[in-house]
A and B are shown apart, each in its own frame.
Chain A
Amino acid sequence: MSAAAQDIATRNAVIARAIIYAVLILFAVYYLLPLYVMLANSLKPLDEIRQGNMLALPQEWTIAPWLSAWSTAQIGVQPTGLKPYFLNSVLMVVPAVAISTILGALNGYVLTKWRFRGDNIVFGLMLLSCFIPFQIVLIPSARILGLLGLAGTVPGLVLIHAVYGLGFTTLFFRNYYEAFPNELVRAAQIDGATFFQIFRRILLPSSGPIIVVTVIWQFTNIWNDFLFGSSFSSVDSIPITVALNNLVNSSTGVKEYNVHFAGAILAALPTLIVYIVSGRYFVRGLMAGAVKG
């Protein structure tokens, strides 16, 4: 190739790269814009929003809308802010995620390392639960919660979410453990380790990536859930998603958009943090077996 031709080729490569970056930046801006609007407007007094320029930075910076959203805003009939509901959500999410993850891991362990007759049918049935729409199980769930005396309580929501998440967590762990060498389990059996010792000492320490995937998945789904939250909660067990709705839809007084924006960000914050902290494991874990074959 001549020097001139090589120069042209190099220049073309630079141009192509520039176009790629331009498009990428454009999309990044496009996706970040809503977050920017929310953030910018949550830090403005209400008057500035009313003037109509949603995209402008605040002229007068204030955190009052955040404080209001957190502790004094009118939620339904109570002026409590989102705080108690945020707490409800934490009390619901943490046990639900923990229970469904631990049971999913045990299920995956049994379904791959302690195979029994009909195990694939059991697994198939559990998979089926991933595809059942939430709405179908509402009435049976309500009946069961009623029978258990858990209707309208946080433990009731924990139970519903843990059970509903089990299909997914089992799928994740089963596929991950499917690729885990059987010979390790056999070696541990010869070493005399029991069912739970093998699980705790051999499998769990190698399960980091899939635990992260499951926790993120379950945390996001349960935290963001609205349907179960609105169906099965009573006044003092309302999760934050439902509370946010009540905040935004309060029909009395003026619409405090800045408070609504702040409240929406507050409600989304935990999932955002979970993603930022462990997001890189998420992709790695998904690659490591959850969606493989």
Chain B
Amino acid sequence: MSFLQIRNLDKSFGATRILKDINLEIAEGGFLVLVGPSGCGKSTLLNCIAGLEPITSGDISIGGRSVAGLHPSKRDIAMVFQSYALYPNMTVAGNIAFGMEIRGVPKAERDKAIREVADMLQIGHLLDRKPSQLSGGQRQRVAMGRALVRDPQVFLFDEPLSNLDAKLRVDMRTEIKRLHQRMKTTIVYVTHDQIEAMTLATKIAVLKDGVLQQFGSPAEIYNNPTNMFVADFMGSPAMNLLSGTIERDVEGVKVSLARAHGEPLKLAISEPNGLAAHAGREVVFGIRPEALTDPDGADRNARSIVEGDCLIEVVEPAGSDTFAVTRLGGKEVTARLRADARIQAGQPARLAFNLDKAVFFDPQTQARIA
């Protein structure tokens, strides 16, 4: 049963279509992350849900009730803004209580609600301060407090962590996830950071140029991207996308990848699915760095692992892993090896390709083939 539902939503500014036929839904208590590069329309979509931007056509419903024509304050939502948007002239307590004050909640009740939220977020000692006297992380907490105190049906987060430094961002991310597990309130969260999307979401919607590219669970998005954009956007380091050719002979179907020196590398595909139809044609072969590793580090549960020799150009030890850059199909390819894998730049090394995880795209349409 979907709780927040967006149907055939279109949004135009003048003649420019910002959002094109968006369809999304999320169950009650779900965590929907809207992710995409800047300018993809994700913040506009959030503002449409909030009611801060009117929609051109389509419908948005929350809890089975259409909210498309309702004022933001009547939608039973609360929003955390990228800049936190704390009222600079009010204290922290005043900021948290402002909405209740406007709604005419009695003072005693307001104070009680402020105390509860302040305890939950550990900002009790900050209540009398002005926003200008707070650090970035504290402002973030106050902004969340202001949203939490409303106890809404849906929380909306607009890139809430993008103004924090790297370490604090990771801490707050965990905190938001913990908060969600405790409150079990539906959340819609906008970010351009795919790691935030993966770690927080129960459902991810990937947007580009106002078009929904893919909508699914984090695992679906990560393992089964529907097109090259999603494959490239999600994951860090990014998925290797290299051009190869499908060949079919008596032994079966193979993908042939050009190497810098010597013969092309040919990888036999044990479960070719739809690939046989593309025999003789050029395809884009996609493999994530962690699916391309040293033979000892390869996933023992994988059904089809193919090994091949590649010339290593650069070795980047990252502590927990070692990244090796080689060249296949005319492109740089990153492999993720165990930290103590014995490889050297300029030397060939044997790499294991986990073809369970490999994906194939049409180079023209960029859509997934297999």
A→B interface (CB under 8 Å):
181, 183-184, 186-193, 197, 201-202, 205-206
Contacts and interface: CB of A to CB of B under 8 A. Distances in A.
B229 interface: no
B98 interface: yes
A193 B89 contact: no
B83 to A, nearest CB: 5
Contact of B102 (A181, A183, A197): A197
B73 A191 contact: yes
B81 A192 contact: no
Contacts of B205: none
B50 interface: yes
Contact of B83 (A181, A192, A193, A205): A181
B259 to A, nearest CB: 52
Interface of B: 47, 50, 52, 71-73, 77-79, 81-83, 85, 87-89, 98-99, 102-103, 146
Given A188-B87, A188-B98, A197-B102, A183 B81 contact: yes
Given A186-B52, A187-B79, A193 B85 contact: no
A170 B85 CA distance: 25
Contact of B77 (A181, A190, A202, A205): A190
30 contacts: A181-B83, A181-B85, A183-B81, A186-B50, A186-B52, A186-B72, A186-B79, A186-B81, A187-B81, A187-B87, A188-B98, A189-B52, A189-B71, A189-B72, A190-B50, A190-B52, A190-B77, A190-B79, A191-B73, A191-B98, A192-B73, A192-B102, A193-B73, A193-B98, A193-B102, A201-B87, A202-B89, A205-B89, A206-B88, A206-B89
Contacts of A189: 52, 71-73
Nearest to A194: B102
Nearest to A202: B87
A192 B103 CA distance: 7
Given A192-B73, A192-B103, A193-B102, A186 B85 contact: yes
Nearest to B80: A187
A174 B83 CA distance: 22
The 3 closest A-B pairs by CB, nearest first: A192-B73, A191-B99, A205-B89
A193 B85 CA distance: 14
A223 B70 CA distance: 49
A137 to B, nearest CB: 37
Contacts of B89: 202, 205-206
